[in-house]
Chains A and B, each alone.
Chain A
Amino acid sequence: MIAAVVGYPAAALVRASLGRYSITGLYQGSVGAGNYARLLEQEALPTVLANTVVWVTTVVVVAIVVSLGTAQLLNERFPGQRLVRWALIVPWAASLVMTAKLFVWIYDYYFGILNHALTTLHIIAEPVDWLGNDATVMGAMIVVGVFVSLPFTTYVVLAGLAAIPGEVYEAARVDGASAWRAYRSVTLPLLRPALLVATVLNVIYVFNSFPIVWTLNDRNPGFAHDTMITYMYKIAFKSSLRDVGLAAALGVVNVLVILLAVAFYLRTVSWREAEA
């Protein structure tokens, strides 16, 4: 099973990364590590790397912080709780491309509801071209990234909250802990496994997120707002490079980058645990 699901695509990707392909996709022989060397020469690479770091860390951190709040809220009993729990699934269940398209219209300079609302409320004097202005594109994409990551993250945290037995809170209360103190000293430490899972899966998921960045950024020339995933796609099919081998080399690099990031994260976390 693992050999088929992991082994075959891995081998195919590595093989492609060592090949020279014509613009039509025709295999023209091996270039060894040539594609990797050329990858390092790409002018856009540092920008794309920086974008990827900003995109992944901001989306994951914000999604987790917000989810801690929403999960806490949903963990309380209140009228309509069931409805809200269901409603939260919607952005998760909707297709990413559809969600991204919807946000393209929300952000639109001329027709978008966001500019309309903000100018009506006199928060901004002039409309903003959210997806065309270099200063706002990444932020606009991050908002959508957080929006679609919330349901999953909230449910993971919610599951974590449900697993905390009520007695520990009672014990905390008997010891005279305030609500905030109880949250910090009881809830957060006991949520650790849930947060660990949420972080790792979100990092992978956000790193690999193609539709949001692609759809919200498709009007912009060049690579100024691409992440490594959309850059890979552009190298293969949309830029003048049009090179499947070079894109495959970046694909291999992407796998290594995400593996290292996750391994580094898990390592740091368990090291802290050992220290505590």
Chain B
Amino acid sequence: MARGLLTLVVLYTVAIVLLGACDRGSERTGGAGAGKSITVVIAEYSKDHTKPFWQGLSEQYAKQAGVKVDLRIIDWNSIDQQVSTMIQNNQPPDVLNLNSFSSYAKDRLLYSADEVLSPKTKDDFIEAFARGGEYQGTLYGFPILSSARAFFYNKDLFAKAGLAGPPKTWDEFVQAARKIQGLGGGAIGYALPLGPEEAQAEWAIWMWNNGGDWKSTDGWAINSDKNVQTLRFLADLANRHKITQVNPGKTNRTDGAFQLFKDGKVGMVMGFSPLAAQLDAEKKVNYGVAEMPTAAGRAVTLGVEDYLMAFKKSGNQEAVKQFLDLYYQPENITRWITAEGFLPVTKSGLQQMSANTKLKPYLDALPNARLVPTTDPAWDRVKLDVQQNIGLAVQPGGNPKQVLDRLQKNAVAAAGGR
């Protein structure tokens, strides 16, 4: 009897643990034959706009091309793992929207632009974004939309602290943050999110505005003297000047820094257009949008470009081409980008959207925006490494130089192999 129970428990254990190990990886892909339907995977940018737009586009496409679309809208938290599972099972999607592309290009899974885009579509891309989608000189990551960060400040807190306008230099920035923090009553000078969610973006902006960069002419330069100086500056904001929120290395962007700014507690934060939309809807905070404070003479911001890519599968080239051409028709792409509150990636879209005054600060910033090195397949690892580790440098007792040295070492290793 005891033996029977033991066996039963053991079997049960194995089943549960295995299911636990597998249930995050067992998404099924549709089994329809190639040519009859295509699978399109889109990241969910917003609950309100993403699905309606792509559903409408899919229906239009089905009518025109006679090919059904198996449309999957996947939230950002699980899209990496779901796409990875599809590829592990040898059932990649036909069209995929993601924030990285070069690893897929490196694995030779993708069609190049010449294979699946009409010349007209290809020529319409804003050059910087087309370059941001190139792997070894060939366009594989087709820009789907873009965004740019901007510097947000709370006008009421600025007035209370007797500050005339947003800071232009790092010195002015530190002084402004000091004055706001000095207001007391829970006021926070600057909300610095270096937790895992989006640390690479926050870091990139500070890094560039001190004249540093991810790479130099000889490859990765994450631990350059400039960058060490920048990270020490950020650690000092937290630990010496004490003008940030508590534990900036353990604060995420969306539910941390943005939340504090939306609550009116924070003087300054780096935001983007979706944050502006939320602030406008809530009408709680009187905010202004400005250029990044800089120590490098000229303000630099981060531009972010997401991608569409087409997977090579036998017999799908024509169907995929038609689908992409439909999305890139100016009225379609611009309608969606406008609805989501992002920025254009095509020249025609830029022309159409420049009339929108709300987008002006971001569109003005776009020419000075720099992209992170997504064209390098090693970036996909470097980004995750920065997200998981850079926060440790700004904790009390953290060692900026040591953290950057490790990131550099891993980046060089990632560039070398695997």
Chain A positions within 8 Å of B, measured between CB atoms, are 2, 5-6, 9-10, 12-13, 16, 21-27, 104, 109-111, 129, 131-133, 200, 204-205, 207-208, 210, 218-222, 229, 232-234, 236-242, 244, 248, 251, 254-255, 258-259, 262-263, 266, 270
> Is there an interface contact between A132 and B250, defined as CB atoms closer than 8 Å?
yes
> Is there an interface contact between B250 and A237, defined as CB atoms closer than 8 Å?
no
List the B residue with the shortest CB-CB distance to A221: B391
Contact of B18 among A10, A129, A222, A263 (CB under 8 A): A10
Given contacts A23-B380, A129-B247, A259-B14, 6 further A-B contacts (CB under 8 A): A22-B103, A24-B83, A24-B103, A207-B17, A236-B81, A237-B81
List the A residue with the shortest CB-CB distance to B251: A219
Contact of A9 among B21, B81, B256 (CB under 8 A): B21
Chain B residues, CB < 8 A from A218: 195-197, 252
List the B residue with the shortest CB-CB distance to A22: B107
Assembly CA distance A16 to B263 (angstroms): 47
The answer to whether A210 and B20 touch (CB under 8 A), given A24-B104, A221-B195, is: yes
Chain A residues, CB < 8 A from B335: none
- Nearest chain B CB to A123 CB, angstrom units: 19
Q: Is B347 an interface residue (CB 8 A)?
A: no
Contact of A24 among B15, B109, B195, B410 (CB under 8 A): B109
Contact of B88 among A21, A222, A234, A263 (CB under 8 A): A21
The answer to whether A200 and B103 touch (CB under 8 A), given A23-B380, A255-B18, is: no
Q: Is B317 an interface residue (CB 8 A)?
A: no
| 19 A-B contact pairs sorted by A residue (CB < 8 Å) | A13-B18, A23-B103, A24-B109, A26-B88, A129-B246, A129-B247, A200-B9, A218-B252, A219-B251, A219-B252, A221-B195, A221-B388, A236-B84, A239-B384, A240-B384, A240-B385, A248-B21, A262-B13, A266-B6
Assembly CA distance A104 to B251 (angstroms): 12
Chain B residues, CB < 8 A from A239: 384-385, 388
> Is there an interface contact between A27 and B88, defined as CB atoms closer than 8 Å?
yes
Assembly CA distance A111 to B249 (angstroms): 19
Chain B residues, CB < 8 A from A208: 16-17, 20
Assembly CA distance A219 to B80 (angstroms): 19
Contact of B382 among A109, A210, A240 (CB under 8 A): A240
Q: Is the interface of A mostly helix, strand, loop or mixed?
A: helix
The answer to whether A204 and B13 touch (CB under 8 A), given A22-B107, A25-B87, is: yes
- Nearest chain B CB to A49 CB, angstrom units: 16
Chain B residues, CB < 8 A from A266: 6, 9
Assembly CA distance A248 to B24 (angstroms): 12
- Nearest chain B CB to A255 CB, angstrom units: 5
Q: Is B22 an interface residue (CB 8 A)?
A: yes
Assembly CA distance A77 to B80 (angstroms): 52
The answer to whether A240 and B414 touch (CB under 8 A), given A110-B265, A221-B195, is: yes
Most central of A25, A133, A244, A254 by chain B CB within 10 Å: A25
List the A residue with the shortest CB-CB distance to B78: A237
> Is there an interface contact between A2 and B11, defined as CB atoms closer than 8 Å?
yes
Chain A residues, CB < 8 A from B388: 221-222, 234, 238-240
Chain B residues, CB < 8 A from A262: 9-10, 13
Top 10 closest pairs, chain A to chain B, by CB: A25-B84, A240-B385, A221-B391, A132-B247, A25-B87, A132-B250, A251-B21, A208-B20, A9-B18, A240-B381
Q: Is B418 an interface residue (CB 8 A)?
A: yes
List the A residue with the shortest CB-CB distance to B392: A221
> Is there an interface contact between B88 and A242, defined as CB atoms closer than 8 Å?
no
- Nearest chain A CB to B41 CB, angstrom units: 13
Chain A residues, CB < 8 A from B382: 240
> Is there an interface contact between A13 and B252, defined as CB atoms closer than 8 Å?
no
Contact of B410 among A200, A205, A220, A240 (CB under 8 A): A240
> Is there an interface contact between A109 and B252, defined as CB atoms closer than 8 Å?
no
